[in-house]
């Protein structure tokens, strides 16, 4: 069975690519063929290149923009326009066990001049499962709640919340995972500042791509 998994986030720079790479590498370790795709990237190709390096099948980005700003603004400055329908149509159809899609910026980062966001792109891509990434820091309870309330149709597809990083000096860091799981009845994959993969993530991958 082929699984299309989207990795989205509560904001920018919170660990989407780190999470995506961990998922791809863990799936490969389980014997799966994988492909990572960043449909749209601004400010260089670092994230997309990392996904390609971790993939068995290369899936180039559909849109690349130089300015490290919001996609709609980067496109405007470059005299270009972003067509979400064209991006969705360019989605890879690679013969892999897991196709992972990583969006650019936060879930509601604007992508085009019409104000459409990653949420609309996600609706067009129609992934079977979604992982929501958030930083393990003070304020994450609000950020996750805000995203879930703003995107109720996405809620049913979220298989886990990936909680990344964590500062020992932040007194909320030790309790955020438990509180988020309790408040939203979500599985929480906690990513420490190491290369370790959370055991619950590995269990989900086994069930998703190998039928248990």
Residues acting as catalytic residues: 38
CB 58 within 8 A of CB 52: yes
At residue 98, φ and ψ (nearest 5 deg) are -140, 120
Q: Are 206 and 198 in contact (CB under 8 A)?
A: no
- The 10 Å Cβ neighbour count of residue 147 is 23
Q: How far is it, in rounded angstroms, from Cα 143 to Cα 135?
A: 9
Size of the chain, expressed as the number of residues it contains = 212
Q: 101 is written with which tokens?
A: 């899609």
Tokens of 118: 């990653």
For 10-113, strand residue ranges (E) read 34-37, 40-42, 63-65, 98-102
Residue 163, H or E segment: strand 158-164
Distance of CA 110 to the CA centre of its chain: 16
- Rounded CA gap, 172 and 94, in Å? 41
Cα-flanking dihedrals φ and ψ of residue 201, to 5°?
A: -65, -45
């Amino acid at each position: 069975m082929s699984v299309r998994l989207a990795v989205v986030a509560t904001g920018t720079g919170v660990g989407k690519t780190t999470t995506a790479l961990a998922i791809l590498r863990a799936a490969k370790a389980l014997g799966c063929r994988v492909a990572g795709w960043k449909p749209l990237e601004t400010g260089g190709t670092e994230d997309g290149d990392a996904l390609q390096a971790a993939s068995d099948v290369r899936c180039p980005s559909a849109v690349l923009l130089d300015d490290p700003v919001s996609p709609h603004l980067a496109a405007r400055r470059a005299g270009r326009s972003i067509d979400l329908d064209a991006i969705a149509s360019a989605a890879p159809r690679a013969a892999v066990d897991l196709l992972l899609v990583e969006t650019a910026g936060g879930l509601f980062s604007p992508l085009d001049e019409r104000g459409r966001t990653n949420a609309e792109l996600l609706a067009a891509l129609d992934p079977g499962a979604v992982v929501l990434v958030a930083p393990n820091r003070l304020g994450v309870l609000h950020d996750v709640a805000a995203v879930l309330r703003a995107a109720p149709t996405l809620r049913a597809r979220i298989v886990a919340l990936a909680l990344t990083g964590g500062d020992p000096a932040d007194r909320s860091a030790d309790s955020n995972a438990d509180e988020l799981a309790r408040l939203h009845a979500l599985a929480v994959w906690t990513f420490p500042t190491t290369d370790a993969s959370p055991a619950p993530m590995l269990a989900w991958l086994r069930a998703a791509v190998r039928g248990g």
